[in-house]
């Protein structure tokens, strides 16, 4: 066994039901702390386009990544079949209103070392991962795509508003209430113990209701700097469907390169099927259609003609 480089830790392990293993990696973020990814490569020498997968708010570290690769890897398998390198990634825990209150990250220097105006946030960890994978020899650095689901979908918007190093992105069921500067109603009360908002049951189904509760000027300012093509995916029965649709509409009204699709499915996170108790993936026709549509969309930006 080759020795592990302490500065570039890579541990390879098999993936259930696949001939393609996963490379478990620790990636340095902006402040020198490390986050985790599980990277897989298709057969061949590359250079490959790469798609990074994110879901929900952060935390969980390497244990979370290993579980996602092994038990929530159906979409990853389809990407590999289509010739993409891909990685499940993790990032630090979401900070309540950290994006709204912290402002843009300013990086300076003091006594020869880095100095920030605030700590990096979870979406900035994803930016660090994007920059890391671009330097991996089998990866084409000009062909990086993102798929973010739920809070991961909101991260797509935060990332592309500030960073232009991804070629294309998919925001699936994007819980983008903070990005849109939405003021919740009584369906998102404060937790009396922590004074943090409880948004899990927030009811934002209607577009008109959402538009009436966002800071339109601030949302438009954030959207104005987006250059990355984005596919926004909704879910017909979701209690945040109004946020999903409003996100798309504001991007479209701003003249951004954006598409919309919405599916009727009972699972929040339908784009990432999980294994059932029998060890096989539970995937229905709607999910197959949605995942195929995602890959077709990515192909339009990441595949080299011919």
- pLDDT digit string (tens) for 244-295? 999 999 999 999 999 999 999 999 999 999 999 999 999 999 999 999 999 9
**Termini Cα distance of the chain:** 40
C-alpha closest to that of 85 among 42, 120, 117: 42
- pLDDT digit string (tens) for 59-82? 999 999 999 999 999 999 999 999
Query: Which residues contact residue 222 at a Cβ distance below 8 angstroms, ignoring those fewer than 6 apart?
Result: 157, 161, 179
Q: How many residues does the chain have?
A: 306
Greatest CA separation for the chain = 60
pLDDT value of position 196: 87
Beta bridge partners of 109: 114
C-alpha torsion 293→142→131→50, nearest 10: 40
Structural domains in the chain, sorted by start: 10-108+124-302 (3.40.50.1820)
User: Which parts of the chain have pLDDT scores under 50?
Assistant: none
pLDDT value of position 305: 63
CB 92 within 8 A of CB 120: yes
Write phi, then psi, for 232 (nearest 5 degrees): -100, 130
């Amino acid at each position: 066994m080759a020795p592990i480089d302490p500065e570039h830790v890579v541990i390879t392990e098999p993936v259930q039901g696949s001939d393609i293993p996963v490379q478990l990696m620790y990636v340095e973020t902006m402040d020198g702390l490390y986050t985790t990814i599980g990277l897989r490569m298709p057969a061949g020498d590359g250079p490959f386009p790469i798609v990074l997968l994110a879901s929900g708010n952060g935390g969980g570290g390497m244990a979370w990544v290993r579980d996602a690769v092994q038990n929530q890897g159906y979409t990853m398998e389809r990407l590999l079949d289509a010739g993409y390198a891909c990685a499940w990634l993790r990032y630090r825990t979401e900070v309540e209103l950290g994006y709204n209150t912290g402002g843009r990250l300013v990086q300076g220097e003091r006594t020869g070392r880095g100095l920030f105006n605030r700590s990096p946030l979870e979406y900035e960890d994803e930016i660090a991962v994007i920059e890391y994978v671009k330097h991996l020899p089998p990866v084409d650095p000009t062909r990086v795509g993102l798929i973010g689901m739920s809070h991961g979908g909101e991260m797509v918007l935060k990332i592309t508003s500030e960073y232009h190093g991804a070629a294309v992105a998919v925001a699936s069921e994007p819980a983008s209430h903070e990005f849109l500067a939405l003021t919740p109603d009584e369906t998102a009360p404060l937790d009396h113990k922590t004074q943090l908002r409880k948004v899990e049951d927030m009811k934002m189904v209607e577009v008109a209701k959402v538009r009436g509760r966002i800071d339109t000027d601030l949302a438009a300012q954030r959207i104005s700097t987006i250059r990355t093509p984005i596919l926004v995916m909704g879910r017909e029965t979701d209690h945040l469907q109004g946020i999903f649709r409003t996100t798309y509409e504001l991007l479209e009204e701003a003249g951004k390169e954006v598409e919309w699709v919405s599916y009727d499915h009972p699972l929040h996170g339908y784009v990432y099927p999980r294994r059932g108790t029998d060890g096989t993936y539970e995937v229905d026709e709607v999910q197959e259609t949605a995942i195929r549509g995602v890959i077709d969309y990515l192909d339009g930006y990441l595949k080299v003609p011919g």
